A and B are shown apart, each in its own frame.
Chain A
């Protein structure tokens, strides 16, 4: 089948949402989006619709799939790639990837990044063919609301978005695209807290607050045992917000705070693998 690739900017958010949901109808991890949520996603994660693409059948104009490209200084981020189930394995996903990576290379961006759901073998294989290599594995965790029985230890100091962003800027480790400072700057409802423990431990966390859900967690232990500090941070968070659902995305699998998540009742839902691709040398 001959396909044409149209910049996503030529479509409305409603049209892109509809197409995206059609491509995910049988997906390994079910995650449809509303137009509002996709709009927020585009905004928060700097998705550039001029360099994102919709694949269309040249013959009859039927939309077949899409892929989105986020752009930040020196890097691009491939996301929301999907092809209609009925025409998979026909080269549409590869064509969309080629278009986006071609744009990324022409803009001179040295690095492209993506995350693929672990065990999504067709997508993983495609990304390897496109030159991506694995750099890390990340957990996606959930916790249903339930009240804590004991008052958490230590002294908590709650921060608004300004204070939370100051902390984000000091974070010393690698973060994936959705949790890195640029995403947090774009986000609404950012909050944070610091904790000082009697043992001398000190740390902080940043999160996004919604009426029924807490998400996009970044935890950092500045002093002391990360397990102890992380447990205190999460305990204070859930003590303050006993009715909120919690969704911690892209926690590194070897993050020293992982045992603290388990202590507070978080469970693993799935994993993502981060992959990167360096821009090919234009001279070669």
Chain B
């Protein structure tokens, strides 16, 4: 089972993800802002990071740049969770070298499948 960090400012989304991911045996970490998310990622070395693109202090795209610039996080899979339209979300994933995205409101089945695929890589 994996250690998963979710960086998300909306607590209802985090609560839902916590419930589903801990039920599958994953360790769940939550940070509400980009800055605290970066700190937590550096301290906890998660196996995978779920990243809301609409964060209040720094947006998720810029945060992905922060995360990728840290050598110890360079290869940690990053998954965007976003309400952007599909076409824009796809461009973001490609441009920011993310490992995938899930549209909001997110479908838990799709999220779990993507997490499982990425962790198996």
Contact = CB atoms under 8 A, between A and B. Distances in A.
A243 to B, nearest CB: 6
B56 A142 contact: no
**What band does the interface of chain B fall in when counting residues whose beta carbon is under 8 Å from A?**
20 to 34
Contact of B65 (A21, A36, A245, A267): A245
Interface string B52-76: 0111111101100110010000000
Interface stretch (A26-34, A193-201, A249-257): A26-34
A264 to B, nearest CB: 12
Contact of A21 (B56, B84, B91): B56
Interface residues of A, number: 27
Contact of A144 (B10, B58, B61): B61
Given A32-B54, A36-B57, A270-B88, A212 B65 contact: yes
A62 B33 CA distance: 26
A57 to B, nearest CB: 23
Interface in B26-63: 33, 53-59, 61-62
Nearest to B98: A144
Interface in B92-107: 92, 95-97
A231 interface: no
A31 to B, nearest CB: 6
Of the candidates B54, B62, B91, B96, the one having the most CB atoms from chain A within 10 angstroms of its own CB is: B62
A269 interface: yes
Contacts, number: 55
B65 A144 contact: yes
B56 A34 contact: yes
Contacts of A31: 54, 59
A213 interface: yes
Contacts of A34: 33, 56-57
A30 B83 contact: yes
B57 A144 contact: no
B62 A213 contact: yes
Contacts of B83: 26-27, 30
B69 A142 contact: no
B54 to A, nearest CB: 3
Contacts of A245: 61-62, 65
A143 interface: yes
Given A34-B33, A247-B62, 14 more contacts: A30-B54, A31-B54, A31-B59, A32-B55, A37-B56, A144-B95, A144-B96, A212-B62, A212-B65, A213-B62, A243-B69, A245-B61, A269-B84, A269-B88
Interface of A: 17, 21, 25-27, 29-34, 36-37, 142-145, 212-213, 243-245, 247, 265, 267, 269-270
Interface of B: 9-10, 33, 53-59, 61-62, 65-66, 69, 82-84, 88, 91-92, 95-97
8 contacts: A29-B84, A36-B57, A143-B95, A144-B61, A144-B95, A212-B62, A245-B62, A265-B95
